[in-house]
A = this chain, B = another copy of it.
Amino acid sequence: MAADKREHILAVAEKLFGDKGFDGTSVRDIAQHANVNLAMISYYFGSKEKLLEALLEQRANYTILEALNKDESLTPWEKIDKVIDFYVDKIMNNLCIHNIMQQANRSSTPGIKELTTKIKLRNFEQIKKIVLDGQKKKLFRKVDIEMTVGTVMGTISQVTLARHFYNVLFNIEDGNDEAYRKKMGPKLKSHLKQLLHAHLDIKNEE
């Protein structure tokens, strides 16, 4: 069936782009790993670049944050914790696509650059709302919001990007996605929560 094959190609491309980068992955690589004729990729997607665009557009449906922000029953503190849980899970379960997005900023076509920036901006705005709300309610102190969000995103990115470094640090087998998730996911969550609580708490205002 056609739709299944398309999806399969996308899944294979995600893995390969994530592991070896866009430029480091050839169309023949993808075709071979997907057990698909080379020409099928041009047939379905038009080109290698378009394949990447299709991949990003399909995988970047970060709509849960908006929903979370509309939930009036949650306090800003609860929202912060939920955002961390959501983000860490999301990225730890999509290591490849996250790596692709981080790398997509260089070289690639302006369209892809703008697409990834748009996604990041949308997420940033949602977290910003939470922090502003917490400040209005006199729970959070004054902080540099842009940099605070950068710390959350950056800490998580660090764990997915410098993966080999953490494999060595924690004796995790290279390439074992499941073991990495299990070890680093909980570590990331509790660290980020503790960090943001100390950072944002109005009691720590200087």
Contact = CB atoms under 8 A, between A and B. Distances in A.
Interface of A: 19-21, 23-24, 99, 102-103, 105-107, 113, 117, 120-121, 124, 143-144, 146-148, 150-151, 153-159, 161-166, 168-170, 187-188, 190-192, 194-195, 197-199, 201, 204, 206
Copies in the complex: 2
A22 to B, nearest CB: 8
Contacts of A121: 165, 168-169
Contact of A106 (B20, B191, B194): B20
A155 B147 contact: yes
A120 B165 contact: yes
A163 to B, nearest CB: 7
Given A155-B155, A169-B124, A162 B106 contact: no
